[in-house]
Structure 1
């Protein structure tokens, strides 16, 4: 597939010209940690051109072994106190070089993480994990295109105010449900218009934005792309929107479930395989109400079959599982249907636009891991000709006989740990690394005392 030049993306020569004209003075050089957070350094633009373009830079390898608070967590094979917490090599992927329109005089480039001695990809790095699955797709003759739809909640409070208030009693920027409603979304258009504009000028082509179902909840959608490019766009989008909000004195959250009484925030993943410039899912075979190819059918079968094996890659936090509530727009059971929003897997489009939408991941997912899980599962379906179940028509929330997504991170971890498929697809070292990460995340929650406990037990126990 040929793509038009993307506004905001930079070639090396264009960067040199902008640096010489003092239009760009800073280059952010970054990669993502387990949580999907951008991590890295800011370079003087001239020094970046002199040094980092060719040589890359270094970062402490503990960055793939920390918790949310950046505390080094013992027990990882990749990096630990015994090994002295050395460096790994951050290699700029110059195809990701772009202007950061929302930051004056700044460009940004995303990095692959390499072993400092062998210069192989660090297998445990999220971008490496997706690269491996894209390589597996290429071996079968496929490329993968994807899109992720991110939802978020917007608040009048700035981030510092929210922090000081312990994230309690925040004031949403909407005061009634506004799904698709233009009037209420107009009231926050100062933020959303800025986000659309800056994303468009930062190499992230925007399609549209809309109000969502929760109070102050919104969605901003960008154009689909090759899966690695789309994951990169996803990361840039989150960084851009958080930093715009911070500058405007407001805040937003990509938590999967911000409030027990409000809708969760999802990251619906749209995915299709392509071959020789054509959508490999398109075909004439009738499958329920959908005409598609064997590749489409088997990919769907594998994707669905392996959800239990890779669930933590879709729902990585304790909070993720609070989103799976019946009749809340979040999927609770494993079924597929055609254009049915109660389904975990919703098939949409036809012909060259035929694709599978997985509604299971939340807005808290790391896109590299979620895309890799989806791709590994679907490719296994093609290799082994895994048939999906019969199409389900009707209210899937009411179909209590269907298999359910895990209720908790603990359940998901147990299934991930027992999965031979996960070990084969990602490698035993990668699975062990992320098992340790997810278990420590669960352990941190298990040892905490929550507001719910104080409210319930302080006086009345």
Structure 2
């Protein structure tokens, strides 16, 4: 059965939200003809961890009886001797996904340990930060741009665009490239629409083999869940066609890399707080929005460890150019209007776009830390100064960290971000230590570049 047929059937089975509010996980699954539920959470690196739960055990899952060995799951603050992580599903995130496998559903979970939300779990971190906003009568809406490559391996093991005809220096928006990948892009689009996300565009990005598929913005937690789900869908459906999908920030030295751009806005009582028609700086923003921007810029260096959390991230950031002529990766903590060269772009008065994130970013952590910095800016009424004009660069703008190790040190020097994820648990220091170890593990690996440079140089 085609994905289009499956998604049509799924849409026909949908019932009004009011009927879902009191339905149990088992009832939802049985209504959708689901046989198994994928119970998912992510570690601090963004790795999706899951167990496949038969519907017969849905009540046990809903009751928080499904245990994981946290140390085995990944970077999530546990040791082998620690108590199990118990995955507690958020029923509002439940969705049938027959386009992946007929009879399959997915639900995002919050890990608990000894009866309490586990402070090192990224979804728990974001929820706590959103609770802080809610206590002030604020809510955050977020949109995300997810970029990725579709690749295959040659006989010699080299990576190449899955579409062998996808070549050239400027392939962005190429109508022929999109058409050749029509089946894959259509499958992902139809899956997103069946889930109610509102896919509105699918395009070929800057580099050969690179694509982006967009969906409407929503509440911050909903969008973080959707980014996690979308990465899973893209990976699995690409594999069906013999391709490898990667969100790696910089898979190729001479091509643009993968970003994860975040569009943010703040609201109170369903009313947007960013627009201001009387803005004298001509961006259409309110004083609150400018203070939010100021907070993000003030903490931009430390934020990089969450927005660009891999060794490979800084090969994207440090690139001087790409085959197309642009890297699309900011190097300084600056902001401006509809100008994609800045850390923060303001496309209109309704939102801001943080452009420093890349495909390695954990969406929960990236959103949480950005909102944390923005809230600090509001509290301190930070003035970010005048925006840069088109193509301009402020000489006093802070340079972003050039390597992962520099980003670690920037986080360690930023007490708000280091301690602000959880004042009672050392989540920030734990993450910084793990990323320092990651950098040193890479640094200790001898590469072919070193052979070429040094083997016979002395």
Map of 1:37-436 to 2, 5 A cutoff? 37-48=47-58, 50-63=59-72, 65-66=74-75, 78-81=77-80, 84-100=81-97, 101-115=99-113, 117=114, 119-155=115-151, 157=152, 161=153, 168-173=158-163, 174-176=166-168, 177-324=170-317, 325-326=319-320, 327-350=326-349, 354-396=350-392, 402-426=397-421, 427=423, 429-436=426-433
Distance in 1 of aligned mates of 2:39 and 2:228: 13
> Larger deviation: 122-131 or 7-16?
7-16
**How much does 1:94 deviate?**
0.6
Instruction: Give the Å deviation of 1:389.
Output: 2.3
When normalised by structure 1's length, the TM-score is: 0.88
Q: Closer, same or farther in 2 for the Cα pair 1:214/1:51, shift >3 Å?
A: same
Q: Deviation digits for residues 176-213 of structure 1, max 9, x if unmatched?
A: 23212212211111111111112222343312111111
**Higher mean C-alpha displacement, 239-248 vs 303-312:** 303-312
Structure 1 residue 394: Cα displacement: 3.0
Instruction: Rate the CA distance shift 1:300–1:103 in 2: closer, same or farther, 3 A.
Output: same
SS in 2 for 1:289: coil
Q: Structure 1 residues 21, 295: closer, same or farther in 2, change over 3 A?
A: closer
Partner of 1:70: none
C-alpha separation in 1, matches of 2:359 and 2:159? 22
Question: For the Cα contact (< 8 Å) 2:256–2:327, is it kept in 1?
Answer: yes
Aligned equivalents of 1:460, 1:170: Cα separation in 2:
31
Partner in structure 2 of residue 33 of structure 1: 43
1:456 lines up with 2:449 in the alignment? no
Contact 2:337 2:390 in 1 (8 A): no
1:371-390 per-position Cα deviation (integer Å, ceiling 9, x unaligned): 01110000001111011122
CA contact (8 A) 1:228 1:368 kept: yes
Secondary structure at the aligned position of 2:284 is classed as strand
- Report what 1:23 is aligned to: 33
Q: Is the 8 A contact 1:56 1:92 kept in 2?
A: no
Change in Cα spacing, 1:374 to 1:20, as seen in structure 2 (3 Å) is: closer
State the number of aligned residues.
431
Separation in structure 1 between the aligned mates of residue 332 and residue 43 of structure 2, nearest angstrom: 30
Contact 1:208 1:221 in 2 (8 A): yes
Larger mean Cα displacement after TM superposition, 13-22 or 84-93? 13-22
For structure 2, the residue ranges without an aligned partner over 5 or more in a row are 1-9, 321-325
Aligned-partner SS, 2:124: helix
333 and 98 in structure 1: CA distance in 2 versus 1, 3 angstrom threshold: same
Q: In 2 relative to 1, CA 288–20 (structure 1 residues): closer, same or farther, beyond 3 Å?
A: closer
Q: Give yes or no for contact 1:148–1:234 (8 Å, CA) kept in 2.
A: yes
Give 1:418 deviation, angstroms. Answer: 1.8
Q: Secondary structure at the match of 2:342?
A: coil
> By how many angstroms is 1:102 displaced?
1.9
CA distance in 2, matches of 1:19, 1:149: 30
Q: Which one of 417, 435, 438 corresponds to residue 438 of structure 1?
A: 435
Offset, 1:347 = 0.6
User: Following TM superposition, by how much is the alpha carbon of 1:292 offset from its aligned partner in structure 2, in angstroms?
Assistant: 2.2
Q: Classify 1:79/1:390 alpha carbon distance in 2 versus 1 (closer, same or farther; 3 Å).
A: same
Q: Is the 8 A contact 1:99 1:201 kept in 2?
A: no
RMSD across aligned C-alpha pairs, in angstroms? 2.3
Shift in alpha-carbon separation, 1:285–1:425, aligned structure 2, 3 A: farther
CA contact (8 A) 2:419 2:428 kept: no
Q: Deviations over 1:67-103 (max 9, x none)?
A: xxxxxxxxx9x4224xx14312110011100012322
Match in the other structure for 1:69: none
CA contact (8 A) 2:199 2:215 kept: yes
CA contact (8 A) 2:303 2:411 kept: yes
Distance 2:32 2:96 in 1: 13
